[in-house]
Amino acid sequence: MKGILHTVLAVAAALAFFGQSAAQQSSNLVAIHAGHLLDVKTGKLLPDQTIVIEDGRIASVGNSSAARVPAGATVIDLPNATVLPGLIDAHTHLTMDPKFGYEELGISVPRETLTGAKNARVTLQAGFTTVRNVAADGYSDVALRDAINACDVPGPRMLVSGPPLGITGGHADNNLLPFEYHAKEEGICDSPWACREKVRENIKYGADLIKIMASGGVLSKGDDPQASQFTLEEMKAIVEESHRLGRKVAAHAHGAQAILWASEAGVDSIEHGSYIDDAAIAEMKKDGTYLVPTLYLGDWMLDNAGLTHLPDFLLVKAKAVIPAARKNIAHAFASGVKVAFGTDAAVYPHGMNAHEFAVMVKLGLTPLQSIQAATLSAADLMGWAGKAGTLQPGAWGDIIAVDGDPVQDVTILQHVKFVMKAGEVVKNEYAK
C-alpha cells in the first residue's frame, strides 16, 4: 500500500508539474485578431489580420483566414480597431516635468527618479512603447531604465544618455546660481580630451548614448540658441570616442553653425534644428544625419507660459526661436532630410507626445511620413531596426490599437485605446 501511495503521489506531482508548465507556456502565447493592420512601410490598411506573439516577440502576422493560432494561446479580439507598431519617441526627458528657471533648483536626483517612474507609465499608456531619453541629472534615467527592465515599474523600452555634455556656462550647465556657489553640472567639459573623459564616465555609469549641447538653448539662462558652443574639434573628439565605444551621439543644436559642425563631426542626430539652413541641410543629407524636430512644445509652451510661470528671460528666447523653427524645419522637410520623431516631452506634460504628429503634417510631412518617423526611422536611429517600430516576425511584441485610419487622420494617434509591450497587455479600453 505504501508503494502504491508513493506512485500515486509521484504521478500527481508529475501531472501538476506538466500542467503548470503548459499553463506557463500558453501564457507566453498571444494571438491578436484585428479588424485592420496598418503596414507602416507602405501605408496600406490590411483587413482582418492575426498577429501571433510568442515569448514577447512576433511569431507570425497575416490574414486571419490563413493564420495558425497555437493551441492554448490567449486570444485578443479587436474586430473594430486598427493595430500598428508601438510608437517611438526619440527625444524625451522622463525624469523631468514642466518646471523652469529657478524652480529647477529645488528638485533632487532621487525626486527626479521617482518623477520618471510616474512619467514612464503615462508615456507607455499613451502608446509610446520605446523612448530615447536624452539628458537626465545624476543618471536618474539609468536607474529608471534598469527598474523598467527589471519589471519593478511599468514603462517603455529606454535608451538613455545620462547627464548631457556641454561647455562651461552653456546650455547643460547650472547658470542660475552666483559665483560663490561654484555650481557646475556633471557633464561639463572644455577641451577635446576632457570631453573624451566625460564620454567614458557616462558610459561607465550606464549610458546607452551620448547627448551633447552643440548650441545654446531656450530654457537656460545667459546663452544664445543661435551660438555654437562646443568647437568642431571638441565635437569630433566626442563622436570619435563615443562611436569607438559603441555609442551613438545626439546633438542639441538650434543654430545653423552648430548644426553644420555637429553633422560634420559625425553625430547621429540633430535635436531641434531651429535655425537649420541650406548648408546644414546639405551636410546632413551627405552624412545621413537624422533630424529630430521637437515642434508641438512651441504651441504648448506659449499657450501655458503663465500657468508654468516661465521666467521672462526664457520667454523672450522662446518667442524668438519658435516661429523661426517652424519656418526652417518646414524647409528641411521639403529638402528631404531624414526625420525621426521626437517631442522634448517634459517641456510639456508627458503623455501628450502624439500631438507632435499634427504639427509635423502641418509643416509638410504626409501623415504616413510622420508615422514612419515614429516607427521605422526612429527604430533605425536607435539601432533597433527590425526589433521596434514594425510588425514583422522576430520584432518585439509592441503593438497599439486605435479607432480608424491614422493615415487619413493622424490625430487619431492622440487617442490610443490598446497598448501591448513584449506581448503583455498594459492597456485595453476595448475590453470595457
Which residues are CB-neighbours of 283 under 8 A, at least 6 positions away?
A: 259, 260, 263, 264, 289
CB neighbours of residue 99 within 10 Å: 15
152 with 285, same domain? yes
pLDDT per position as a tens digit, 65-113: 999 999 999 999 999 999 999 999 999 999 999 988 888 899 999 999 9
Quick one: how far is CA 347 from the chain centroid? Answer: 14
For 400-410, letters b (16+ CB in 10 Å) and e give bbbeeebbeeb
9 with 56, same domain? yes
Q: Can you list the alpha helix ranges (DSSP code H) found in 137-276?
A: 140-149, 192-204, 232-244, 256-265
157 with 49, same domain? no
Between strands 57-63 and 74-85, the pairing is unpaired
227 with 271, same domain? yes
Which residues are CB-neighbours of 64 under 8 A, at least 6 positions away?
A: 33, 48, 49, 50
In angstroms, rounded to a whole number, what is the distance separating the alpha carbons of residues 298 and 315?
A: 11
154 with 215, same domain? yes
244 with 302, same domain? yes
In angstroms, rounded to a whole number, what is the distance separating the alpha carbons of residues 169 and 389?
A: 38
Q: How many domains does the chain have?
A: 2
Per-residue pLDDT, averaged over 99-128, amounts to 95
What pLDDT does residue 147 have? 98
Closest CA to 242 of 271, 259, 267: 267
What pLDDT does residue 27 have? 55
349 with 215, same domain? yes
Between strands 45-54 and 29-38, the pairing is antiparallel
Confidence of residue 432 (pLDDT cuts 50, 70, 90): confident
214 with 358, same domain? yes
Report whether pLDDT(3) > 80.
Answer: no
378 with 395, same domain? no
Poorest-pLDDT segment among 63-67, 195-199, 305-309, 397-401: 305-309
Report whether pLDDT(26) > 50.
Answer: no
In angstroms, rounded to a whole number, what is the distance separating the alpha carbons of residues 137 and 3?
A: 66
306 with 410, same domain? no
How wide is the angle at C-alpha 367 spanned by C-alphas 120 and 275, nearest 5°?
A: 75
Confidence of residue 22 (pLDDT cuts 50, 70, 90): very low
CB 59 within 8 A of CB 393: yes
In angstroms, rounded to a whole number, what is the distance separating the alpha carbons of residues 165 and 272?
A: 16
Which residues are CB-neighbours of 139 under 8 A, at least 6 positions away?
A: 162, 163, 205, 206, 207
Cell of 340: 525621426
Average pLDDT taken over every residue of the chain: 93
108 with 208, same domain? yes
Say which CATH number the domain at 287 has.
Answer: 3.20.20.140
Report whether pLDDT(20) > 60.
Answer: no
Say which CATH number the domain at 9 has.
Answer: 2.30.40.10
Cell of 399: 503593438
Domain residues for 121?
Answer: 87-382
100 with 72, same domain? no
> Phi and psi of 44, rounded to 5°?
-75, 140
pTM of this prediction exceeds 0.85: yes
Report whether pLDDT(11) > 70.
Answer: no
Final residue of a structural domain among 365, 382, 399: 382
